[in-house]
Structure 1
């Protein structure tokens, strides 16, 4: 007689060995590094889904809209338990749930993104000046704060006009030129996104170079707020920096004005005027609806990038 084995043998052994119900818990930490690629994958996944019930076409359109605007919705489609299990041979899904939460304390590693000892090409430096980790960190925080405040304005006031003597009741939109005070909700949402677009540049290790008049205004507001915060609350700024390395060019706001503006922008106008003056002339001569049109030599931002709120 042969040696006994505890493993099932013969016809049907594979089915018997797999006939178990298992509850699996998977915890993933994710960082979105390419939102357009994630969005495209999520849209493709939605196109492959089968919808049932009332008006399947409308269900598909609504889900496509959600994944096009919200990274959490895009992840939800791609990480859905049914979709994950479908890629595993020999497994049937018995049900499951998906929970996605945003890590509130996440912050880009500015020391890695803007290395002080990097070469000129890699760090984005021009001559001896460079955007330092601490400057990038403070500017990133101000841009996100302005975006949040602009979205808060929108949620609280919707399409109400900003009234003279009541502009203090608006966190951000009341600080914009008066000719924008009566503009519609869609314009205000695009203005809030301009702050986010520049913050995203920093989070990717890129200099926040304004690509349109709206971003020019947004960056100047963020620089002004960063300067004011540093002057009023230096200890709070120091706490924000943590272990980020210090540098001679930290908080060089004049350097930011010289190096971050004018890479893209208007070339027409008085040749004797500086970049800021030409940009101000363009903004004054252009209806605010045109402030989001990219400068001729700037790369256009992804039109499908959506809004944070």
Structure 2
């Protein structure tokens, strides 16, 4: 990941994290993210959050947010700056969850539908959003809340 791409993501994550922390204070901490080198979504809710972070960072760069100017001042240019498609390939096992946001695929979240079974995407109904994916280790439920 290039320094400028990382700065854009850092800016987006900071703003979205403030919103998330406010939500946790209001509604409780069920699945906050641990610190780590690379984000690894472990449930549909985390996967959606990471997609939102990437899209938010992309918009920040496209709209030339003033908050990025200071972060970019000392960072080198690189031909791979802001390669959002590459990041999507690296950070996600697949992009199945994005089907939930297509009006054309309404109902695909239900694992009992033909369309869901054909694609093999699994249970993305709201009650399953915090169920851990079977191929990853669950996060430590005792991790501290931090801001």
Structure 1 length-normalised TM: 0.36
Distance 1:246 1:292 in 2: 38
Contact 2:9–2:53, Cα closer than 8 Å, also in 1: yes
RMSD: 2.6
Deviation, 1:219, is: 0.6
Query: Which residue is 1:207 aligned to?
Result: 38
Distance 1:235 1:278 in 2: 32
Distance 1:212 1:279 in 2: 14
Query: Which residue is 2:109 aligned to?
Result: 284
| Runs (5+) with no aligned partner, structure 1 | 1-130, 159-184, 263-274
Distance 1:240 1:261, change over 3 A: same
| Runs (5+) with no aligned partner, structure 2 | 101-107, 111-123
- Which of residues 123, 133, 141 is equivalent to 1:303? 141
Deviation, 1:230, is: 0.8
Count of aligned positions: 127
Deviations 1:245-272 (A, max 9, x none): 332111111111122111xxxxxxxxxx
Q: Kindly indicate whether residue 3 of structure 2 is the aligned counterpart of residue 133 of structure 1.
A: yes
Query: Which residue is 2:70 aligned to?
Result: 239
Distance 1:154 1:260, change over 3 A: closer
Distance 1:277 1:137, change over 3 A: same
Kindly name which structure, 1 or 2, has the bigger radius of gyration based on alpha carbons: 1
Deviation, 1:146, is: 0.9
Equivalences for residues 1-309 of structure 1 within 5 A: 131-153=1-23, 158=26, 185-186=27-28, 189-190=29-30, 193-194=32-33, 197=34, 200-201=35-36, 206-233=37-64, 236-262=67-93, 275-277=94-96, 280=99, 284-285=109-110, 286-308=124-146
Structure 2 length-normalised TM: 0.69
